[in-house]
Amino acid sequence: MKADKDKCIACKRCFPYCPMGRIQTFARHDKIPGRIYIEIEQDACTDCGMCLRAKICPVNALYQPEEPWPREVRGVLSNPMIEFLGSQTPGRGTEEMKTNDVKGTFLPGEVGVGIELGRPGIGAYFRDVETVAMALMKANLGYQMAAENPVTHFMSDKKTGKLRDDVVNEKATSAIIEGKCKLEKLPQVLKILQEVAKKLDTVFTVEVITKVPPEGEVPILPVFKKMGMWHSINSKNNMGLGEPHFKFYEDEK
């Protein structure tokens, strides 16, 4: 996002709308005496478009230029109005468990593990994303990246989790690593994430997906309990109403 210096009057009305915080500086116009305008720090801006959508600028100075590669990845991941065509899903992730009832993405004995970096309100550079992805893959725990996820798409080596060199210094409001592994590997995956969390200057949320069996305990809960790990009281829950229904068990109706 940029502010047109010939229009901007430095009224500051757009400042509080920025999810990245105060990333604007003041500058003096070189041709109009006494005229001050704002400059948006381009490295900190994720091109999410929130300030523009807020329609707060009284002089229409804000504009989003068409960005070339690799900067265009900022908008793709940060602006909710833009769809990443590689995933064919609106948003910055995949369908993950939302369609598990018809696709069988996560079978009994498997868990989905998602790591979303940068949210809320801090943002993440792709070099941070790479640090997490490479730590996960280096541990050789059978963590399988979701192929249709945008972050996976930006990897130059999906086996090591290495991202393309030209995107690592780009920044997004948030970027999600999505994948799955066997349930028995979940404690080790979470330990890896605990270790890598100490190395980052940003934040990440961790989410774990499981198929709920028709009877008995939700399989991931004993793992959390054993590890003394906090989990939310709220969850995202698939109702199983999608059609055609994926058959998870032999005796399933």
Partner 1 sequence: MTHSLHRRGTRESLSNDFVVLGCPATGVNKKGSAPKTQKFLSICYKHGPINLGDMKTGNIYNTTMDDILKRVTDGTIVECTFDNREKIVSLLKELKEDRPGISVIISGVTDVVQQCMTEAGLGRIHSLEYSLGTWGNTSRLPDFEILQTVTMCGHAMIASDLVRKMVRDVKRGRRTIEECCLEMAECCSCGNYNVTRGIQLFKELLPLYSVHSLY
Site residues for partner 1, window 29-88 (CB under 8 A)? 48, 50, 53-54, 80-81, 83, 88
Q: How far is the CB of 31 from partner 1 (least distance, A)?
A: 26
Q: How far is the CB of 183 from partner 1 (least distance, A)?
A: 13
In this structure, the number of other CB atoms found within 10 A of the CB of residue 101 comes to 19
Candidate residues 60, 140, 160, 235; the one interacting with partner 1 per rule CB under 8 A: 235
Phi/psi for 195 (5° steps) reads -70, -45
Closest among 235, 237, 176 to 205, alpha carbons compared: 176
The encoded tokens of residue 120 equal: 């809320």
Bond from prior residue into 33 cis (ω within 30 degrees of 0): no
Q: How far is the CB of 163 from partner 1 (least distance, A)?
A: 18
Counting contacts by CB under 8 A, is residue 109 touching partner 1? no
Q: Which is nearer to partner 1, 18 or 62 (CB)?
A: 18
Closest among 250, 243, 231, 195 to 111, alpha carbons compared: 231
Q: Which is nearer to partner 1, 70 or 80 (CB)?
A: 80
Candidate residues 106, 125, 126, 154; the one interacting with partner 1 per rule CB under 8 A: 106
Counting contacts by CB under 8 A, is residue 188 touching partner 1? no
Q: Which is nearer to partner 1, 30 or 251 (CB)?
A: 251
Counting contacts by CB under 8 A, is residue 190 touching partner 1? yes
| Site map 202..231 versus partner 1, x via CB under 8 A | xxxxxxxxxxx-x---x-x---x----xxx
Q: Which is nearer to partner 1, 243 or 251 (CB)?
A: 243
Bond from prior residue into 70 cis (ω within 30 degrees of 0): yes
Task: Tell which positions 112-151 bind partner 1, by CB under 8 A.
Answer: 112, 114, 116-122, 148
Q: How far is the CB of 112 from partner 1 (least distance, A)?
A: 7
Q: CA-CA distance, 156 to 141, in Å (whole number)?
A: 20
In this structure, the number of other CB atoms found within 10 A of the CB of residue 128 comes to 23
Indicate the DSSP class of residue 233.
S
Q: How far is the CB of 117 from partner 1 (least distance, A)?
A: 8
Q: Which is nearer to partner 1, 9 or 166 (CB)?
A: 9
Q: Which is nearer to partner 1, 109 or 121 (CB)?
A: 121
For tokens 């059978």, the residue is: 142
In this structure, the number of other CB atoms found within 10 A of the CB of residue 159 comes to 9
Closest among 25, 236, 200 to 122, alpha carbons compared: 200
In this structure, the number of other CB atoms found within 10 A of the CB of residue 137 comes to 21
Q: Which is nearer to partner 1, 33 or 214 (CB)?
A: 214
Q: CA-CA distance, 207 to 180, in Å (whole number)?
A: 11
